[in-house]
Amino acid sequence: MRAAVISQFNEPLQIVDVETPTPGFDDLIIEVSACGVCHSDLHILEGDFKAAKLPLIPGHEVVGTVVARGDAVSDLAIGDRVGVAWQHSSCGLCEQCREGRENLCAKQNVTGLTVNGGYAEFMRAKANHAIRIPDSLSSVDAAPLFCAGVTVYRGLKRADIAPGQRVAVFGVGGLGHLAVQIARAFGAQVLAVDIADDKLQLARSLGAEHAFNASAPDSMKQIRALGGAHVAIVTSAAKSAYDAALRALRPAGTLVVVGLPSEPLTFQALALVASEARIIGSAVGTRQDIREVLTLAAAGKVHCRSEVQPLERVNDVFGRMRAATISGRVVLEFP
């Protein structure tokens, strides 16, 4: 089968023929139809994840059709269309798994990091971590929801948003444009913040009631004049976005950490204490979170802006990702 393989960190992926996988007793073999390209894949390529095995087939936003299954698999059939996310497997026995936080399982395997992922014509997956795709969603539409979609969904879900509350989305990119739609689905009033006017226009077209250019000196003051944000979710990797988001919060507001700056985040203790602000992190999502995102998308409430590319263009996609010239998400489609 054809696959894009990382043989060395910081080197272009190689498009090569590799052995087609076979299923273990609790595995599926999926014929891949679409695989999203995530910024985490670039971090893996650049050696930022020490757990990465080499050689490695990356890709963790995978959708395809079951073509083989192990003897222990009975709830998924040949021909079923399923998706596979960042979490390839979890132990199911540790405290985190038993408490409903399988995404924090210390013994988990990660698709496209510790095991081979979906930049290939076929991939092996654990049957109990494969999620059925609603018939109304195309494979290209569904693929980015398995990381980008579920990541912002879980962050907003953990913030306990109530209908009518103000949610500020900092960064209207691949994750942020999904966060705008998901916050709207939760019944929130969305305030979009970015430095690019075209992205702010996109946010308005997706239902944001207000849009603020973060480069304007009074933008956070304008948000506070509206009463401040009950929740601010930062999808940007800029530390300055976090500094601004904290200023945009109302008293007792919640800051949701999703974007990953390369430098440490720093906040004055007095600023947190005086406003009783809450800061929460969110790590991708559980299988149930993914099912809930897919349900929203199948109902037409969430749609990812995606650009389709063939597997052979994956290195070009990473080049554009480094240059920050991608709007929305890129999905590798397999004919």
Q: Give the domain CATH number at 70.
A: 3.90.180.10
Number of independent structural domains in the chain: 2
- Shared domain for 56 and 153, answered yes or no, is no
> What's the confidence (pLDDT) of residue 271?
84
Of 281, 297, 325, the last residue of a domain is: 281
- Shared domain for 289 and 142, answered yes or no, is yes
For residue 185, give the H/E element and its range: helix 176-185
- Shared domain for 178 and 224, answered yes or no, is yes
- Shared domain for 205 and 135, answered yes or no, is no
- Shared domain for 139 and 169, answered yes or no, is no
What long-range pairs does 243-250 form, CB within 8 A, spacing at least 24? 244/170, 244/193, 244/214, 244/219, 244/220, 245/168, 245/170, 245/193, 246/271, 246/277, 247/220, 248/168, 248/191, 248/193, 248/220, 248/223, 248/224, 249/275, 249/277, 250/166, 250/224, 250/275
- Shared domain for 74 and 185, answered yes or no, is no
> What's the confidence (pLDDT) of residue 324?
86
pTM of the model: 0.94
> What's the confidence (pLDDT) of residue 50?
86
> What's the confidence (pLDDT) of residue 335?
85
| Domain ranges, residue 28 | 2-146+285-333
Of 256, 281, 306, the last residue of a domain is: 281
- Shared domain for 324 and 205, answered yes or no, is no
> What's the confidence (pLDDT) of residue 268?
86
> What's the confidence (pLDDT) of residue 17?
97
Between CA 212 and CA 203 the distance in angstroms is 10
The amino acid at residue 97 is C
CATH label of the domain that carries residue 238: 3.40.50.720
> What's the confidence (pLDDT) of residue 62?
98
- Shared domain for 182 and 64, answered yes or no, is no
Phi and psi (nearest 5°) for 263? -105, 155
- Shared domain for 118 and 54, answered yes or no, is yes
Give pLDDT < 70 ranges for the chain: none
For residue 3, give the H/E element and its range: strand 2-5
Going by C-alpha positions, the residue among 303, 327, 305 that lies closest to residue 198 is 327
Between CA 116 and CA 119 the distance in angstroms is 9
- Shared domain for 195 and 62, answered yes or no, is no
Which pairing describes strands 131-132 and 81-84: parallel, antiparallel, or unpaired?
A: antiparallel
- Shared domain for 91 and 158, answered yes or no, is no
Three-state helix/strand/coil letters over 101-145: CHHHCCCCEEECCCECCCCECEEEEEHHHCEECCCCCCHHHHHHH
> What's the confidence (pLDDT) of residue 261?
85
- Shared domain for 46 and 120, answered yes or no, is yes
> What's the confidence (pLDDT) of residue 274?
87
Between CA 42 and CA 257 the distance in angstroms is 20
